[in-house]
Amino acid sequence: DAKTTQPTSMDCAEGRAANLPCNHSTISGNEYVYWYRQIHSQGPQYIIHGLKNNETNEMASLIITEDRKSSTLILPHATLRDTAVYYCIVRVAWGTDKLIFGTGTRLQVFP
Amino acid sequence: GAGVSQSPSNKVTEKGKDVELRCDPISGHTALYWYRQSLGQGLEFLIYFQGNSAPDKSGLPSDRFSAERTGGSVSTLTIQRTQQEDSAVYLCASSLGGQGSQYFGPGTRLLVL
């Protein structure tokens, strides 16, 4: 699985959009970009994933650059409950391989 | 529907004792994973099951760790002769075979005194 690079921490004001970047310059053509988050003292939670097209669900939007070397997770209206560590992971979607978690981005949403 | 459940939520044991941790995956999920997260550390993979078979055990840290899965459903992670460095949160996840999105349980917090 390709390695990802994320900022260690970010802040965001409540109600504003949180944009979390991820670099994955060595991603392979058959690898998807997955995002998970871990709220304090809970298990990781799946957010969204995508291959090359932008994706949106009820939780977030995922923007993947045309060359697929980077992506951005967007939380359109951050709330205090979105404070968590966000992990960007690349892997093949149809496989059942393990997830390899990096250090993630610690997002702090403030009032 | 019901998510992944794990029991116990918390476990305190003495060094040298054996412990068993249980995971009930989402119904119908054929793939099951165990991870652990030590204090202040990232999540590390332990073992993966597809059905009752474990094609990837590469993350088990020592032969004191073992896991089994029966009936393609419930899984048990056993740690023998526990050590203080085994203290961690043990997380279980499941997924539909081939779809890849893993859904995690709340974890079991293990403290070895």
Question: Tens of pLDDT along A46-71?
Answer: 999 999 989 999 999 999 999 999 99
Examine the pLDDT at B1 and tell me if it is beyond 60: no
**CA–CA separation, A28 vs A4, rounded Å?**
12
Q: Tens digit of pLDDT for each residue in A7-43?
A: 999 999 999 999 999 999 999 888 899 999 999 889 9
* Residue B30, C-beta contacts closer than 8 angstroms, at least 6 positions apart: B50, B51, B72, B96, B97
The answer to whether the Cβ–Cβ distance between B107 and A43 falls below 8 Å is: yes
Examine the pLDDT at A1 and tell me if it is beyond 70: no
Per-residue model confidence (pLDDT) at position B40:
74
Q: How confident is the model at residue A91 (pLDDT cuts 50, 70, 90)?
A: confident
φ, ψ dihedrals at A80, nearest 5°: -60, -30
The answer to whether the Cβ–Cβ distance between B100 and A95 falls below 8 Å is: yes
Examine the pLDDT at B109 and tell me if it is beyond 70: yes
The answer to whether the Cβ–Cβ distance between B106 and A46 falls below 8 Å is: no
Residue A82: helix, strand or coil by DSSP? Answer: helix
Asked if A98 has any chain B CB less than 8 Å from its own CB, the reply is: yes
Per-residue model confidence (pLDDT) at position A3:
86
Examine the pLDDT at A97 and tell me if it is beyond 80: no
Residue A95: helix, strand or coil by DSSP? Answer: coil
Per-residue model confidence (pLDDT) at position B55:
85
B-contacting residues in A 7-46 (Cβ below 8 Å): 32, 34, 38, 42-46
Examine the pLDDT at B98 and tell me if it is beyond 70: no
Q: Tell me the average pLDDT of chain B.
A: 92
- Among residues A34, A33, A44, A24, the alpha carbon closest in space to that of A85 is found at A44
DSSP one-letter code for A81 = G
For residue A95, the chain B residue with the least C-alpha distance is: B98
Examine the pLDDT at B16 and tell me if it is beyond 90: yes
Instruction: Give the rounded percent of residues in chain B with a pLDDT score beyond 70.
Output: 96
Which residues does residue A105 pair with via DSSP β-bridges, in sequence order? A86
Which DSSP string do the residues of A19-80 spell out, in sequence order? EEEEE-TT--TTPEEEEEEE-TTS--EEEEEESSS-EE-SS-EEEE-TTSSEEEEEETT--G
